[in-house]
Structure 1
C-alpha cells in the first residue's frame, strides 16, 4: 500500500484532537509588560499593561485581540507615549496536559504621542513566542516575548499575564 504510512499518520493526528477537545473556547486575560527599545535616542525601558480577549479553536490554534499600553519613554530627540490595538493568530503545541508553547503573528494599529517613531499612527506587524500554563481547569498564566514595529523603531515587549478560559 503506497499511502499506508501517510494514512496512518493522518489517522493518528486526527485521533489526538478528540483527547484535548475540551481545550477550546473564549478567554480573557491581562497583565503587565516591560517594553524595551534598542534605539539610543530613547530611554531603555518602561513598564506597561496589556489586556486581551481571544478564542481558542483547539490547543493548536487561537485568534486573539489585545489592547496594549506601550509605555512612555523620554529621550534626547523627543518623548514617546504610545498605545496599540492588536489582532494575532497563536499557533500552539501542547506539552503534556497543562503546558502549551506558542508562536504568534499578527498586525497592530498603534498611536504615539511623539514624532520619535516617525508617523504618529500606523499599522505594522507583530510577532512573538510564549508559554501558557493552565493552573486550574479554566485559569492559567502566560509569559510571552513580542516584537512590535512602531514606525522607525522596534519595541521588545515581555508580558506576564493571567487568563480565564470560558
Structure 2
C-alpha cells in the first residue's frame, strides 16, 4: 500500500507539466495485480494480471470491462485460485491537465477452482478507487485499489497498469 501512495503522489505532482487531449473514446489496457485475502480463516496474497477495455464518455464518466486472474493463494491446506470477468462504471475527477482521480462500482462474475469462498462461482459486487495519468499521446498509466466480493470473502486487489486511448 505504501507503493500506491508514492505513485499517487508522483501523479499529483507531475500533472501540471503536461496538457490533456480530448478524453472521449475507446481504450484498452493491462497490467499486474496484487490480490489479497485477509480473513480470519484464510490469509494470503499473490501477483497476477488484469486486462481491460472501456469507453470514456467524457472527462468524468467511463464504462469498462475487465478480465482478472486472482493468482494462486494458499493458507495451510486451504487454497484459492480464481478468475473474474468485470463490468463497471468509473466516475472520474480531473486534477490538473493529465491526472484523473476516480471511483469504481460494478459487478463481476467469478470462478474459483477451490472452495474457500463458499461457492465455486457466482456474481458479486465490486468497488474501488484510483488515479490515472495520460503520459504521452494516447498512452497512460493507472494505479487502482479494488475490493471484490467473492462469495464469503472480500478480495482486495491493487493494480498497476498501462492503457492506450484510441
* Shared fold per TM-score greater than 0.5: yes
Runs of 4+ displaced beyond 6 Å:
none
What RMSD over aligned residues (CA atoms) do the two structures have, in Å?
A: 1.3
Greater shift, 118-127 or 77-86, is seen at 77-86
What are the Cα deviations for residues 63-119 of structure 1, in whole angstroms up to 9, with x where unaligned?
000000011111235211000000000000001110000000000000000111101
Q: Select between 67-76 and 112-121 the one with higher mean Cα deviation.
A: 67-76
Assess if the C-alpha contact under 8 Å between 1:77 and 1:116 holds in 2.
Answer: no
| SS of residue matched to 2:39 | coil
State the structure with bigger RCO (CA 8 A, min sep 6), 1 or 2.
2
Verify: 1:86 aligned to 2:86, yes or no.
Answer: yes
Aligned residues: 147
Give 1 or 2 for the bigger CA radius of gyration. 1
| 1:38 and 2:35 matched | no
Gap runs ≥5 in structure 2: 1-19
CA distance in 1, matches of 2:77, 2:56: 42
2:143 equivalent in structure 1: 143
Partner in structure 1 of residue 8 of structure 2: none
* CA distance in structure 1 between the aligned counterparts of 2:56 and 2:26, rounded to whole angstroms: 6
Give unmatched runs, 5+ long, in structure 1. 1-19
Query: How does the TM-score come out when normalised to structure 1?
Result: 0.85
- TM-score, length-normalised on structure 2? 0.85
Instruction: Write the distance in 2 (CA, Å) between the matches of 1:32 and 1:122.
Output: 24
Say which is worse superposed, 30-39 or 74-83, in terms of deviation. Answer: 74-83
